[in-house]
């Protein structure tokens, strides 16, 4: 397996810069998730690691060896894409074995490797079927076996679950994590789905506009975002944000807790963030922000209360499943000061606010 280092990786397409001076170290045996919205540069980064794209500048190292100029077949990596990319006229067995065609193995060695890879992803009984006879999830398992059979230095996966239904994504997500841990292989997984990233990654690298916004464990990314972008992108339901300039105009009897949290020397540029589970809802002001109920979404084990403040800005709170509210009701949203975050006018995290006034 391999440690992968990206040093000042840059990729330009004409005047557009897809990846901007990216420095990133991927540990040997780590499952690293590249997370970000469409167009943020995550797939371009993966393609550069694979050798499918040539960087405009910077270096790519595998275990200290510079592979920047090497073609894909000399890097000994395997890729799995959103589409399973199987030969439609070949059985699963032959699709998997096609990866071994140029390795100089005899027929028995190839058969043994195919059987081992198929058993690893539980498709032994599917080996003699054509892709057209397989479900979407089964085709992705065959594509994964096709990658495993080569015994590569690293697995690179580009949104391999995106085209599958929700239940199947959930199943294959855990199977991929289990597989990666059993093989102890280096895996780089690209996704725009933050739930997928949080549940799969040893570490998550959040990208935005070709830059690395933050890298850390799922806990660090969720609980200690270093930028406003990371805080807004990671979390479901998303974090609530209130600008300090919108708080100071509240009546003295309302919003006191918010005002205390957002008060800073440069308070007018401050944005306060609080996750939905850290908002307390009350029918009485008690320092809370006045809101009007916009909608109530029932999710079974919990409900999401969607409110509008007096500027028509949406706030979301997680409430008990039996919570009763009607559209148009007047309620007050009170933040838990221990769990609030502050961001400066440049979108960077500030020191945690004091816990008084809440």
List pLDDT tens digits, range 289-337: 899 999 999 988 899 999 999 889 999 999 999 899 999 999 999 988 8
* In a shared domain, residues 202 and 264: no
Contact 188, 157 (CB under 8 A): yes
Confidence of residue 171 (pLDDT cuts 50, 70, 90): confident
- 282/16 Cα distance (integer angstroms): 49
Number of separate domains in the chain: 2
What pLDDT is attached to residue 264? 54
357: in domain: no
356: in domain: no
The conformation of residue 267, written as its DSSP 8-state character, comes to: G
Give the CATH number of the domain where residue 166 resides.
3.40.50.300
SS3 content of the chain, % helix, strand, coil (to 5): 30, 30, 40
Average pLDDT over every residue of 39-58: 96
* In a shared domain, residues 122 and 29: yes
- Half-sphere exposure in the Cβ direction for 148 (13 Å, CA): 24
What pLDDT is attached to residue 357? 44
Q: What is the mean pLDDT of the chain?
A: 89
What pLDDT is attached to residue 175? 85
Long-range contacts of 242-247 (CB under 8 A, 24+ apart): 242/271, 242/272, 242/274, 242/289, 242/309, 242/313, 242/315, 243/270, 243/271, 243/272, 244/268, 244/269, 244/270, 244/271, 244/272, 246/309, 246/311, 246/313, 247/272, 247/289
Contact 154, 188 (CB under 8 A): yes
What pLDDT is attached to residue 102? 74
Give the CATH number of the domain where residue 246 resides.
2.40.50.140
State which of 182, 203, 229 marks the end of a domain: 229
List pLDDT tens digits, range 180-207: 998 889 999 999 999 999 999 999 999 9
Q: What strand order describes the sheet that includes 271-274?
A: 240-243, 271-274, 341-343
Confidence of residue 17 (pLDDT cuts 50, 70, 90): very high
Domain that holds residue 322: 240-343
* In a shared domain, residues 187 and 315: no
* In a shared domain, residues 159 and 278: no
Does the structure show a pLDDT above 90 at 80?
no
List pLDDT tens digits, range 251-291: 655 666 777 776 654 566 889 999 999 999 999 887 788 99
Average pLDDT over every residue of 42-47: 96
SS3 142: helix
């Amino acid at each position: 397996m391999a440690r992968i280092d990206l040093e000042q990786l840059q990729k330009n397409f004409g005047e557009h810069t897809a990846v901007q001076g990216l420095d990133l170290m991927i540990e040997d045996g780590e499952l690293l998730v590249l997370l970000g919205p469409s167009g943020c540069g995550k797939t371009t980064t993966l393609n550069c690691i694979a050798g499918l794209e040539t960087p405009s500048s910077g270096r790519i190292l595998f275990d200290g060896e510079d592979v920047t100029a090497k073609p894909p077949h000399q890097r000994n990596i395997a890729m799995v894409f959103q589409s399973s990319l199987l030969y439609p006229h070949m059985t699963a067995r032959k699709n998997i074995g096609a990866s071994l065609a140029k390795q100089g193995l005899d027929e028995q060695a190839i058969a043994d490797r195919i059987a081992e890879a198929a058993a690893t992803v539980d498709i032994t009984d599917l080996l003699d079927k054509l892709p057209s006879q397989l479900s979407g999830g089964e085709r992705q398992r065959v594509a994964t076996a096709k990658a495993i059979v080569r015994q590569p230095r690293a697995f690179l996966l580009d949104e391999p679950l995106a085209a599958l239904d929700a239940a199947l994504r959930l199943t294959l997500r855990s199977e991929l994590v289990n597989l990666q841990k059993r093989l102890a292989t280096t895996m780089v997984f690209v996704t725009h789905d933050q739930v997928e990233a949080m549940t799969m990654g040893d570490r998550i690298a959040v990208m935005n506009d070709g830059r690395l916004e933050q890298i850390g464990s799922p806990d660090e990314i969720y609980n200690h975002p270093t930028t406003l972008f990371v805080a807004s992108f990671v979390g479901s339901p998303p974090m609530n944000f209130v600008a300090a300039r919108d708080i100071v105009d509240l009546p003295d009897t309302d919003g006191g807790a918010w005002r205390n949290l957002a008060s800073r020397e440069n308070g007018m540029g401050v944005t306060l963030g609080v996750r939905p589970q850290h908002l307390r809802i009350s029918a009485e002001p008690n320092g809370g922000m006045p809101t009007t109920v916009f909608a109530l979404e029932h999710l079974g084990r919990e409900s999401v209360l969607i409110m509008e403040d007096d500027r028509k800005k949406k706030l979301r709170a997680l409430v008990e499943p039996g919570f009763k509210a009607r559209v148009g009701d007047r309620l007050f949203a009170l933040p838990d000061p221990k769990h609030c975050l502050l961001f400066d006018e440049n979108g960077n995290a500030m020191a945690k606010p004091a816990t008084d006034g809440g």
